[in-house]
Chain A
Amino acid sequence: MQAYCAGNAQAFDALYQRHRGPLYRYVCRQCQRASADEIFQDIWLKIVKARAGYQPTAKFTTYLYTIARRRLIDHYRSQGNVDTAVYDESEDEDADTVSVAGPLQAQPENQAANAQVLDQLLEEIERLPPAQREAFLLQEEAGLSLVEIAATLDVGVETVKSRIRYAIDKLRKRLVEHA
């Protein structure tokens, strides 16, 4: 990103190729496909416009997904279905009723041959509470560490860890139920 800020357009190409897929899926998993393209383009255009004032205070991935998250929240608000409470810790408290992680009774990878399982997994991800879903996606898609996710979401590391655990438990439980 610093090379691009210095005027190297090829640096942006490399940056874009590295992050385009994960970011696109991160956006797609949290909104409708029709809106995903627009949001995805807006995110990158913001990166481009912010070139002059960019200050490398954190990892670029953290910076990129922070912008993406804010753009998604704006999208939720524009749709009128934003519920900031879904980002509260109350969602985690509700998740206490979910059985804690245990050994999978049926290993998901054994059933992966069936594409239906993958579709089921994506549906279950969409059904996750937003706070847990975005933490899970930041870990799986963006490859961020717990600390980086905490910085992106502006919460504590333990909170991130808790959200991811609850998300995994729910996914496992529902996949097993469908199996």
Chain B
Amino acid sequence: MSNDELQREAAARDAPLSALYQRTRKDEPPAQLDAAILAAAHREVAAGPQRANTSGNFARFRMPLALAATLVLGISVVAVVRQLEPRQENLHVAMVEPAPTESQLPEVQGSSASEPAPATQKPVAEMHAALTPPAAPVARDRLKKSARVQEEKDSAAEQVALAQPAETEAIHSSSKAESVPSSGPELQLALAPPVVVAQLASDQAETEANSQEVDRIASAKSSAAEMSAPRRAPAAMSATVGSEPSNGSANRSLAVERPAARPAKPARALKPIGTWLKEIAQLRVEGHEQEGAQQLQLFKNAYPDISEEKITSSLSGYERDWREAAKTRAVPVIVDEKK
């Protein structure tokens, strides 16, 4: 303590008063209070080291542990998101245009009960799947376009149905006889409005662009794909006949127009192997065993040089992936409820 501080201490203290105060210092804490405090202190020492060490260790490692946990979580989330992104796009591609089979056609079938439709519906779905482009951006564009064009198609279909019942009857009779299978697409194009024709033309162009890689295989195997084309036309025509012109139901129009518009596309475009197998796996996982089996048969016809063992292993892998994807996220099912 410096001299200044000593002088300050001396100046601050009043010696006589301090001496007087010292004589009042008689109060002491009670003995039981002393005993209680000392006992508590001894207890703390007896039980203390473990607690002190534990809290010290925890405090020492708390921050690094928190940082490590944050890093692991962040990296895991990024990895999972990156892994699932391409699958999601594939799902979009597969779901852009679902095949109008059991869920949509029964109403149409009910109105034309005499039609032997089941034999013709499945090839229509197969060609839908076969014509679906593999690239996700293309699929998104097509989804937008088809949503816009579909409304025009529906209204045009109603107008056509109301204005030309004679042609519809003619189609009906011809479909019953199945005498002119190749005339279905042309007739449908003729009945469709110009916008639909333009859309079909653009779809065809996209499909051709996307199928350049498989053209070589497709040309060699086009006979297998074209085998299903003649059966597709009667299906479209029977569906068209099934829609009652006077009712003009939007649901039926959708069920009618979609298969009717597809025959305008060329059958030579084949899907890539991976995309096709994924779709087959999806059908199997979703319980559409029959469709899956048919698709698989088509696939085997189109690619006979791929061994059965390889196909089976690929399918099992895709099915497993599909189940995992379905567990982790909701699969977007694009169904136009409005129509």
Q: Which A residues are within 8 Å of any B CB, using their own CB?
A: 4, 7-9, 12-13, 16, 20-22, 24-25, 28, 37, 40-41, 44-45, 48-49, 51-53, 101, 104, 107-109, 112, 117-118, 121-122, 125, 139-141, 145-147, 157, 160-161, 164-165, 168, 171-172
Contacts and interface: CB of A to CB of B under 8 A. Distances in A.
Chain B, interface residues (CB within 8 Å), range: 35 or more
Contacts of B36: 41
Interface in B15-43: 16-25, 27-30, 33-34, 36-38, 40-42
A168 B14 contact: yes
A45 to B, nearest CB: 6
A4 B41 contact: yes
Contact of B37 (A9, A16, A104, A140): A16
B5 A37 contact: no
Given A16-B34, A48-B40, A108-B17, A4 B45 contact: yes
Contacts of B38: 12-13, 16
Judged by DSSP, the binding face of A is helix
A7 B28 contact: no
B82 interface: no
A40 B8 contact: no
A61 B254 CA distance: 90
A40 B33 CA distance: 9
A108 B20 contact: yes
B309 interface: no
Interface string B38-53: 1011101100110110
B24 A122 contact: yes
A24 B9 contact: no
A4 B52 CA distance: 13
B66 interface: no
Interface of B: 1, 5, 8-9, 11-14, 16-25, 27-30, 33-34, 36-38, 40-42, 44-45, 48-49, 51-52, 55-56
Given A108-B16, A121-B20, A145 B51 contact: no
Contact of B20 (A16, A20, A118): A118
Contact of B29 (A20, A118, A157): A20
A172 to B, nearest CB: 6
Given A145-B9, A146-B5, A24 B20 contact: no
A9 B41 contact: yes
Contacts of A16: 34, 37-38, 41
Contacts of B12: 139, 146, 160-161, 164-165
Contacts of A20: 28-29, 34
Contacts of B44: 48-49, 51
